[in-house]
Structure 1
Amino acid sequence: MNHNHHDTGYKELFSHPEFVQQLIEGFAPPEIAELMDFSTLENHSGNYVTPLFQEKFEDRVWSVQVSWKGLRLRVFLYLLLEFQSTVIYPMALRLMHYLVCFYDHLLKSKKTNLKRGLPPVLPIVLYNGSKRWNAKEDIYQLIRPEPPQFLRVYQPHLRYYLIDEGRYTEEELAQRQSLLSGVFGIENAAADIDALQRAVDRIVALIQADPNKQRMDEILTRWIKRHLHYLDAQINLDQLNSLTENKDMLAENLETLRENLLNKGRMEGEQFGAEKSKRETAHNLIARTDMNDQTIAEITGLPVTEVARLRSEALH
């Protein structure tokens, strides 16, 4: 299973200004979105190498003009697309490092200088893991014990804005009439085929109502094909060229996916039952005979290390 599919698929989505706008308007605080002129969105994404870890990162970086107290200034939206199965607890530290590298890039590429100043940023972490995100969202919160009052002013502060897809219910996403909310709905449905079919029907309706229907259809068809491949669907999607024109074909494929998942579950259940039976046999032989681990392993088909572990558990 390809665990990087979100990286590839989402980075394509957020290379289009429409999805950046929908992310801010639908999932960021409304007082932020109200200040932004989304017609001025400009893409600054690229590859950077962090000097500390010598690692490449390729996140989405956009800038947008903001009107605030009579001033117009350009704010950089730093989108850190984080697709991990587990929560990254030092995320605030990682993000601070990335932003320092990004500022360094702006200076070295002469996009700005110290006289003009470094531009403000809005760091956003987009997370879609199954476990709810509970990492600290400000690097200051990672400093323990809390410094005495006279030292606090000297401590680093950087807070990111978290968008945790899994926190949104199907009903909450339906209230946001955007294609991106449809994408989140498909992500959250996972392998629940009924929920997945409802989410697909919803996103097809949203595409059909979009003024850029053909373009959005092409982008999201590519995305959903990647997504279904990630689910290990084992269905033929070669003929799926349009979500709106081939929705009946997709519905048939989702039914095939349902059968594939059921069969896979049955096979895994049978395999689990067989393994459980092997372990029970090994437990009995350990308790009632003087057989050594190697002999029990040959009888049950379990690895010798597993038999040794079962014997150790029995002794305790």
Structure 2
Amino acid sequence: MSQSNEKNNKDKIRIVNKKNNLHDKSYKDLFSNKETFLSLIQTFVSNTWGSKLTKENLVLVDKSYVLSDYEELESDIVYKARIGDHEVFFYMLLEFQSYVDYRMPIRLLLYMIEIWREILKNTSEKEFKRKSFRLPAVVPIVVYNGEKNWTVARTLKEVISNSDIFGESILDFRYEFLDVNRFKKDELYENQNIASAIFLLDQSISRIEFYNRLKDIVIEFNKLTVEEKAQLKHWLVNVNSEENNYKENIEKIFSSNKREVEIMTSNISKGLEKLKEEGKIEGKAEGKAELLIKQLNKKFKLLPMEYEKKIKALPEKILDDIATDIFSLEEIDELKKYF
């Protein structure tokens, strides 16, 4: 690829991520709170070590280990804790792309090495040479909110050629994986904690369903503290939305009593239902799909009918991503990563 094309591709990536950066930052702010991180780990990560974590033994590391190659694609959060006599690092990568990235195990390996490199840089040579010296464990965690199924390898060995031949001689690890859109609604309702509330509201759902869930969270999630509800409100207010009066609606819902919230969310849903009936919600996405198909036909001369059908079924968010990426697409088969 020429330097000019490479530069253009990076520019396209930056354009795509301008829309997601605020969402990513708000998400990162949420899980940079110790209680929220603990809620996430102790609810959704099924490991015995999760129960040994407490607010007191967790320390947020004020440093990002994301490499320059990927800094436009992701955010990360790093905690360290002491479990017994040993220090452990939790490396959480927020993966908010519309497509899956098959490089994930390799990317995580690089980040883990960066953490260890930083530790060794700050360790005296005398300590490093001791027989008793041990590197701290680094637990990689990926939080993914894309709509496509995650078909990426979960272990490092799976992306190493002929790894089965060499057995334990090959480096390996398995990362914890949390797929926001694959958690069942009933399960999230049952937990009634802040991590579940975040996932309920961040799943790929209609605006009507969003307000129904928000109403239930505000009214029924009795385990949420005042501080946690304030966190949720701050996150939602700072997430981009093209919906009219969105921020005003969020502010009012969190500051109203039960009856007012029920009336307000009911009125919002009725308004959205009316727009749906008039075709003003679905029509917007359909119009984007038709325009995108015309652009792709112009670029690739002839778009296969099966691709047209798949494009028409895509959510608006992914249509926007393809439209932004269209100039960097060189082969028609590159569209498959969006389906």
Report the TM-score range of the alignment, normalised by the length of the smaller protein.
0.7 to 0.9
1:265 equivalent in structure 2: 282
1:198 equivalent in structure 2: 212
Q: CA–CA distance in 1 between the matches of 2:153 and 2:83?
A: 28
1:145 equivalent in structure 2: 162
- Indicate the SS of the match to 1:12: helix
Q: Residues 16, 162 of structure 1: CA spacing in aligned structure 2 closer, same or farther, 3 A cutoff?
A: same
Q: Residues 307, 162 of structure 1: CA spacing in aligned structure 2 closer, same or farther, 3 A cutoff?
A: closer
Question: 158-167 vs 104-113, which deviates more?
Answer: 104-113
Opposite residue 78 of structure 1, the aligned amino acid is Y
Is 1:169 aligned with 2:184?
yes
Q: Residues 254, 39 of structure 1: CA spacing in aligned structure 2 closer, same or farther, 3 A cutoff?
A: farther
Opposite residue 201 of structure 1, the aligned amino acid is K
- Indicate the SS of the match to 1:59: strand
1:235 equivalent in structure 2: 245
**Larger % of strand: which?**
1
Q: Identify which of 221, 227, 239 aligns with 2:233.
A: 221
2:9 equivalent in structure 1: none
Q: CA–CA distance in 1 between the matches of 2:298 and 2:251?
A: 49
1:80 equivalent in structure 2: 93
Q: CA–CA distance in 2 between the matches of 1:306 and 1:10?
A: 38
Opposite residue 204 of structure 1, the aligned amino acid is V
Q: Using CA pairs below 8 Å that are at least 6 residues apart, which structure has the higher relative contact order?
A: 2
**Shift in Å at residue 174 of structure 1?**
1.4
Q: Flag structure 2 segments of 5+ consecutive residues without an equivalent.
A: 1-17, 306-339
2:64 equivalent in structure 1: 47
For residues 116-172 of structure 1, the C-alpha deviation after alignment (integer angstroms, 9 at most, x for no partner) is 432112111011110121211111111233452xx3333221221111111111111
Contact in 2 for aligned 1:189/1:199 (Cα 8 Å): no
Q: CA–CA distance in 2 between the matches of 1:162 and 1:62?
A: 17
Opposite residue 140 of structure 1, the aligned amino acid is K
Contact in 2 for aligned 1:83/1:127 (Cα 8 Å): yes
Q: Flag structure 1 segments of 5+ consecutive residues without an equivalent.
A: 280-301
Question: 33-42 vs 171-180, which deviates more?
Answer: 33-42
Q: Identify which of 36, 39, 42 aligns with 1:19.
A: 36
Opposite residue 306 of structure 1, the aligned amino acid is K
Greater Rg by CA: 1
Opposite residue 37 of structure 2, the aligned amino acid is V
Q: CA–CA distance in 1 between the matches of 2:35 and 2:193?
A: 10
- Indicate the SS of the match to 1:24: helix
1:33 equivalent in structure 2: 50
Opposite residue 231 of structure 2, the aligned amino acid is I
**Shift in Å at residue 95 of structure 1?**
0.3
Q: CA–CA distance in 1 between the matches of 2:75 and 2:288?
A: 41
1:296 equivalent in structure 2: none
Q: Residues 120, 203 of structure 1: CA spacing in aligned structure 2 closer, same or farther, 3 A cutoff?
A: same
TM-score by length of 2: 0.69
For residues 225-263 of structure 1, the C-alpha deviation after alignment (integer angstroms, 9 at most, x for no partner) is 233x24x32335257546531473962556555556651
Q: Identify which of 142, 147, 153 aligns with 1:125.
A: 142
Contact in 1 for aligned 2:92/2:143 (Cα 8 Å): yes
Opposite residue 95 of structure 1, the aligned amino acid is L
Contact in 2 for aligned 1:64/1:75 (Cα 8 Å): yes
Q: Identify which of 230, 244, 251 aligns with 2:254.
A: 244
Aligned length in residues: 276
Opposite residue 82 of structure 1, the aligned amino acid is E
Q: CA–CA distance in 1 between the matches of 2:304 and 2:61?
A: 58
RMSD over equivalenced CA pairs, Å = 3.6
- Indicate the SS of the match to 1:77: strand
Q: CA–CA distance in 2 between the matches of 1:111 and 1:257?
A: 62
1:100 equivalent in structure 2: 113
Contact in 1 for aligned 2:192/2:223 (Cα 8 Å): no
Contact in 1 for aligned 2:75/2:95 (Cα 8 Å): no
Contact in 1 for aligned 2:236/2:250 (Cα 8 Å): no
For residues 270-304 of structure 1, the C-alpha deviation after alignment (integer angstroms, 9 at most, x for no partner) is 6878x79xx9xxxxxxxxxxxxxxxxxxxxxx78x
**Larger % of helix: which?**
2
